[in-house]
Amino acid sequence: MSGDTNHTRKIALEFAAQRDLARSMLRQQMDARGLTEKAGWKISESLRHVMGGTELVMRPIHLREKSPEGLESVVAISEADGASDVR
């Protein structure tokens, strides 16, 4: 594999791990508030572009219930080096 391919693979694996961590953390917060899968709560994902990169935003969503304000997990992806972190 070329160096670029290895670098891309490393970034993708790091991002996947950060996404899984963020999803798990959000699910724990949701469960603690009674926003369980059994009650119909799911996690929505959307992308937003910000200065210097992109963010994957995960929030609770329900077909009939109003989602709580401010409850979200964010994985930030740096445009400069592809690094990602959870907020």
| Domain that residue 26 falls in | 3-86
Q: Which residues contact 8 (CB under 8 A, 6 or more apart)?
A: none
pTM to 2 decimal places: 0.85
Collapsing DSSP to helix, strand or coil, 8 comes out as helix
Number of domains in the chain: 1
* Tens place of pLDDT per residue across the chain (87 aa): 566 788 788 888 999 999 999 999 999 999 999 999 999 999 999 999 998 889 999 999 999 999 999 999 999 988 777 778 888
